[in-house]
Structure 1
Amino acid sequence: MKGAAALLAVTALAPLPVSAQLAFGPAIGDQAVLQRDKPIVVEGEAPAGTALTVTLGETIAQAKAGKDGHWRATFPAMKAGGPYRLRAATRDSAVEADGVMVGDVWLCSGQSNMELPVRRALDFDGQMNSAADPMLRLLTVPKATATKPRRTFGEPASWEASTRDTAPEFSAACWYMARELRKAEPGVAIGLIDASWGGTAIRAWLDPAATRKIYGADEATLLDAYDRDPLDANVRFAPRWIEWWRTQDKVEPWRTPNAVQWSPLPGIAPWDRLGEAPLQGLLGWAWFRRTITLTPDQARDGATLSLGIIDDGDQVFVNGRPVGNSYGWSNPRDYKVPGHYWKAGANEVLVAVWNSYGTGGFMGPADVLKLTLADGSSIPLGDQWRYWISTAKGSPPRPPWDAIAGLGLIGNAMVAPLGRIGLRGVAWYQGESDSGQTGYDVRLRGLIDGYRRQFSDPALQVLVVGLAGYGDPAPTPGESGWAQVRDEQRRAVAATPGTALVSAIDLGSRTDIHPGDKNELGKRLARAALGKPGPQAVSARRDGSDVVVSFDGVEGALTGWSGAPISFELCAQTCRFARATADGATVRVHGDGQPVTRVRYGWADTPVVNLYDAANMTPTSFELTVE
């Protein structure tokens, strides 16, 4: 029987009625793994007030559904073992999950470098020779967003054993980590839960408590308003966007559309495919304008403006009034516009589109662009558009309902449904989308606190991957958004017991934001899970004219591959590269007679580094104040 919500009709004498309301939570199903050595929590849904008997093998627990229909049963901690049958039964119905193991459960989460599947990693064909492992179980959480925490996934999902057919589409970093852990304890089953989404910001994964603490009550209130009335929330948010726009461009097309020179848009498609030279390769802002003529009856009753998918972000105005703001390259834009926004005769629709990467604009096809009237009829909007390119280049403020950077929207839909299942730990690989934004350490600590709240484990282990290099190496010292994120990852981990930072700084590719060596990354994650995360800088002190940097987590001694350690900088008002010498768990950065207040290492998007310990582990970027 397949699926966590499969219903069984079982009794000693006759089949019991099937109840569609009785179900396990989405993380429970055939071939699931439950966490060993911790109380085992099993949750699900049932009619309100229903009493349940829940059995795991020979162990029995009782539960009762609350007024909201949610029930929870707790079993005593168990050692690794199985397979077991897990069964929840009321007087007249039951659900079962077969082949359940007790072992270690890991949640793997983040953006595209965690999502990147095994089939896209290096040596895929060779690695598939060892893909089959019935004790390694995989669960992929479907992508979804929600303004409030959910108890179910956006779509059904089921556990699968690792095979040559199932492993290729699973997270490579997560799978390779688990494969190493399986070698360390061959008799322990491992369950992997992949909840990842490319391009997402960390704030999209926060729980409601962290969201409110970090971003304040006003943002939480605005998100609540969007849940009740999207148009009202957009109207409240628009002044922030407009104020920002005025820092970018003196022209306000939504107020004075005739103040700029518009060009005909030849079609509806990503703008790189339209054959328009001004749009080719555009990273920045383009405005689109469409005039819609309505009768008095059509205008009076309101309509829904459908624009299809827009890449990346949009701010939409109707007759100068804001009606919608979205971000994301996979979500269609459908904005309900009330009658008093429209007028009989000509109406002006203006769409500001921001593109930050790749191509942009209306993704099409043309027939998805339309105005749906109150009587169900529609006016096609797949032609007659005009465009104008602004000189604005900046990134706009993002609303709290933003699909991939909204406040907690992804965590609400992809992590909250896991409930209070037991976890061995969490592996987190994200930060690329937060480059250039300060305070990543605060957001990361909020994320970790949220995990520990949800899973009722104040000591839950969290492994954080320091960003891999991407982009051209820097020939001279300078500022780096990626190095800043790495250092803030380091600071958050240093301040949070039970966490570990796993460096991937040397595993990147300057030409590919998705480096393929996830095998080595998986090995490093596994070492960290076993208590050996590798060297990280902890302090810097003066020693005469030199600076001595001390490291924790060093196995053996630090050494510079192919010579002395490089990528060290001494800084005061400015920074300069400096000569360094490794000695055990320290590195001496030699002074040059100039003032020194800080020392930096690997401070570039793609630094060239050669500092390793005896386990071939390397530290990530850091900046330390010299004491």
Structure 2
Amino acid sequence: MRKYSILLCIGLMFSINALIADVRLPQIFSDGMVLQRNQPIAVWGWADPGEQVKVNLNSQRQETTADADGKWKLTLSPEEAGGPFQLVVSGKNTLTLSDVLIGEVWICSGQSNMEWIVANSNNAEQEIAKANYPQIRHVKIPRITAGEPLDDIEESLEWEEANPQNVGDFTAVGYFYARELHKELNVPIGLINTSWGGTMVETWISKEALKKDKNLKKAVLAYENTPADTVRKNTNPNRYPTLLFNAMINPLIPYTVKGAIWYQGESNAGRAYEYRTSFPMMITDWRKRWGLGDFPFYFVQLASFKAAGGTSATGSTWAELREAQHLTLSLPRTGEAVTIDIGTTNDIHPRNKQDVGKRLAAVALHDSYGRDVVYSGPEYKKHKTSGNQVTIHFDHVGGGLTTHGADEVIGFEIAGADQRFYPAEAKIEGETIVVSSSSVSKPKAVRYAWADDPGTSNLFNNEGFPAGPFRTDNWTPVTKNVVYELKN
């Protein structure tokens, strides 16, 4: 009888709490936020079941009703860039968010090179001192893992202005990207920084998407058979798949965004061939779940780094990862910033994040905003063999081919049918490169910058964009048969 009374009291407590539940917004909605311009704006949250919820923004007023689970969602009509505004949400209580801007909103995600902050980047003291961009706003999603998709971030979030007090803790790549966009577009820019150093791509993908691949499915099934109390919050995000999708992506959906920028891949280099599947899978998964169509997705190709010291002769996992990234351009509305020239042999974290941001911004300005700008370096198009010479043709030559740091072209290799590569002599002839070696009489393959750390490879266009690494052969990659296995 006593047990029944206790249960009855608990039931009454829950009933009373349900009756007095406040209207609530997700944590991503807070003072100083940036909403996406020129697109329908999703607003959602929680209230009492059946409660009428009103949302006011600028001159708009929309109403909806919370469903049986207390969830509600509505869509505001597109707004032009501007602000500051108030976003007012009311039901039995009223929420007023102030200093709300409308502009361009970008997800910034990946591992440590995206998480890397302005304070640790080149010329940090000067960059911080001159940061005076009140229309650039940044919000950092806290590091957390979850075994199942979360509806909301469990911690309060703060949108911060780009000023000397705050900018040191911004994602450096994101900030320098936003700064270039703001200078060109003159509209507010919002950065949602959801990144975690050392993470592999599989932890950023939903369980349902991973199950569609026969190899990745095995890891998911092993994860599903793991006791629930084993998968704890804040555990190693690489221990199981999908943990960061659950905790750091799903709670942001369906916040209206323009697109995403991504810097990741170092942790997947050992399985570079599989990245040809997993990386486009993640992009497709995010797009499907956001419901915004093929929103722009721009990524950074890995910079040079010694890693395991891989070369064409020994096999380079990092070169193969860069190739997998480049192949992802087959997806619509994707773009790539090549950074092979800014890496540091002994440091996986290049401090030059300014050029990374600028190159991503050039891609965005061309692809998303219709600007007539050069946004890429020379990109392998085709080749023709004549005798002992191979002529390489390129796209994105811009104002012409050139070299940096030396008069001769450095970084080309050539091989015959024996698949032994030799350093090649390479000459610029118009918009082509002619490659040869006295050691190879019948060339079958040419490679450029094909190594973990290709060092002084130096082919650029006159606009200052580096040529991306490439190979003309289709010889078997060293990572071809390496697949994801659940870490115990």
Bin for the TM-score computed over the shorter chain: 0.7 to 0.9
Give the one of 531, 535, 542 matched to 2:384: 542
Which residue identity is paired with 2:453?
Answer: T
In 1, are the aligned partners of 2:253 and 2:290 still within 8 Å (CA)? yes
1:284-342: CA deviation from partner (whole Å, max 9, x where unpaired): xxxxxxxxxxxxxxxxxxxxxxxxxxxxxxxxxxxxxxxxxx9x9x74xxxxxxxxxxx
| CA drift at 1:475 | 8.5
Indicate how the Cα distance of structure 1 residues 404 and 211 shifts in structure 2: closer, same or farther if over 3 A, else same.
same
Q: 1:149 to 1:588 in 2, by over 3 A?
A: farther
Q: Residue 284 of structure 2 aligns to a residue in which SS? A: helix
What does residue 114 of structure 2 align with?
114
1:311-390 alignment runs, 5 A limit: 331=235
Is 1:564 equivalent to 2:398 in the alignment?
Answer: no
**AA matched with 1:51:** Q
Report what 2:10 is aligned to. Answer: none
Is the contact made by 2:310 and 2:316 (CA closer than 8 Å) also made in structure 1?
no
TM-score by length of 1: 0.66
Whether contact under 8 Å (1:541, 1:547) holds in the other structure is yes
Give the gaps of 5 or more residues in structure 2: 1-18, 367-373, 475-488
Q: Deviations 1:18-45 (Å, cap 9, x if unpaired)?
A: 9654211222111111111111111222
Q: After the TM superposition, which residues 418-437 of structure 1 pair with which residues of structure 2 at under 5 Å, given as runs?
A: 418-437=252-271
Q: CA deviation at 1:218?
A: 4.5
- Aligned residue identity for 2:322: R
Question: Quick one: percent identity of the two aligned structures?
Answer: 31
Q: Could you say which structure has the larger radius of gyration?
A: 1
- State whether residues 141 and 414 of structure 1, in contact with CA within 8 Å, keep that contact through their aligned partners in structure 2: yes
Could you tell me how far 1:624 is from its partner in structure 2?
A: 2.8
* Corresponding residue for residue 363 of structure 2: 528
How far the C-alpha of 1:112 sits from its partner, in A, is 0.6
Show the counterpart of 2:148. 148
Partner of 2:463: 615
Q: Which protein is richer in helix relative to its size?
A: 2
The alpha-carbon distance between structure 1 residues 60 and 476, as it changes in their structure 2 partners (threshold 3 A), is closer
Q: Tell me if the contact between 1:558 and 1:582 (Cα under 8 Å) persists in the aligned partners.
A: yes
Q: For residues 36-83 of structure 1, give each alpha carbon's deviation from its aligned partner in whole angstroms, at most 9, with x where no partner exists.
A: 111111122222332211111111222222333322110122211111
Summarize deviations over 1:174-203 as a string: whole Å, max 9, x none.
1111111111122x0000111111110011
Taking structure 1 as reference, are residues 216 and 203 closer, same or farther at Cα in structure 2, changes over 3 Å only? closer
- Shift of the 602–58 alpha-carbon distance from structure 1 to 2, 3 Å rule, reads same
- What pairs with 1:270-281 in structure 2 (closer than 5 Å)? none
8 A Cα contact 1:31 1:98, kept in partner: yes
Is there any run of 5+ residues in structure 1 with no aligned partner, and where? 1-17, 234-325, 332-401
Cα–Cα, structure 1 residues 534 and 585, in superposed 2: closer, same or farther, change >3 Å?
farther
1:114 aligned partner, one-letter code: M
CA distance in 2, matches of 1:486, 1:47: 50
SS at match of 1:210: helix
Which deviations, in whole Å up to 9, do the C-alpha atoms of 1:132-172 show, x marking residues without a partner?
22101110000011122212114221111111111101111
CA distance in 2, matches of 1:31, 1:95: 14
Is the 1:466–1:502 contact (alpha carbons within 8 Å) kept by the matching residues of 2?
Answer: yes
In the alignment, is the contact (CA less than 8 A) between 2:133 and 2:161 conserved in 1?
yes
C-alpha distance after superposition, 1:414-448 (max 9, x if no partner) = 11111112222211000111112121121110111
Matched, 1:586 2:403: no
Give the aligned partner of residue 80 of structure 1: 81
Supply the distance in 2 between the matched residues of 1:418 and 1:591 (Cα, whole angstroms): 54
Summarize the alignment of residues 90-489 of structure 1 with structure 2, pairs less than 5 Å apart: 90=91, 92-186=92-186, 188-214=187-213, 215=215, 217-226=217-226, 228=228, 230=230, 331=235, 403-437=237-271, 438-471=273-306, 477-489=313-325
Aligned to 2:16: none
1:118 positional shift:
0.5
User: Equivalents in 2 of 1:220, 1:567: separation in Å?
Assistant: 41
Q: How much does 1:536 deviate?
A: 5.0
Q: Which range moves more in the overlay, 450-459 or 162-171? A: 450-459
Q: Taking structure 2 as the reference length, what is the TM-score of the superposition?
A: 0.84
Q: 1:598 and 2:445 equivalent?
A: yes
SS at match of 1:565: coil
Matched residue, 1:272: none
Counterpart check, 1:43 vs 2:44: yes
AA in 2 matched with 1:616: G
Quote the offset at 1:525 in angstroms.
1.4
Alpha-carbon distance in 2 for matches of 1:168, 1:146: 29
- Compared CA separation, residues 453 and 200, structure 1 to 2 (3 A): same
Q: Which has a greater percent of strand?
A: 1
How well do the aligned residues superpose, as a CA RMSD in angstroms?
2.5
Given that residues 176 and 522 in structure 1 are in contact (C-alpha distance below 8 angstroms), is that contact kept between their aligned partners in structure 2?
yes
Instruction: Name the SS of the counterpart of 1:42 in structure 2.
Output: strand
Give 1:484-523 correspondences, 5 Å limit.
484-493=320-329, 495-523=330-358
Relative to 1, partners in 2 of residues 1:24 and 1:527: Cα closer, same or farther, differing over 3 Å?
same
Distance 2:194 2:336 in 1: 20
For 1:500, the aligned partner's letter is G
Structure 1 position 590, deviation (Å) = 2.8
Distance in 1 (CA, whole Å) between partners of 2:410 and 2:121 is 29
Paired residues of 1:477 and 1:569 also in contact (CA < 8 A): no
Partner AA of 1:404 in structure 2: N
Aligned residues: 441
Post-superposition Cα deviations, 1:96-148, rounded to whole Å, max 9, x if no partner, equal 21111110001111111111110000101111232122101110000011122
Counterparts in 2 of 1:548 and 1:213: CA distance versus 1, 3 Å: farther
Contact kept? 2:114, 2:173, Cα under 8 Å? yes
Determine if contact 1:147/1:223 at 8 Å carries over to the other structure.
no
Q: Which amino acid in the other structure matches residue 614 of structure 1?
A: N
Find the aligned partners of 1:52 and 1:583 in 2 and give their Cα distance. Answer: 67
| C-alpha displacement of 1:210 | 2.2
| CA distance in structure 2 between the partners assigned to 1:619 and 1:219 by the alignment | 37
The answer to whether residue 90 in structure 2 is matched with residue 89 in structure 1 is: yes
Structure 1 contact 113–430 (Cα < 8 Å) conserved? yes
Q: Distance in 2 between matches of 1:426 and 1:176?
A: 15
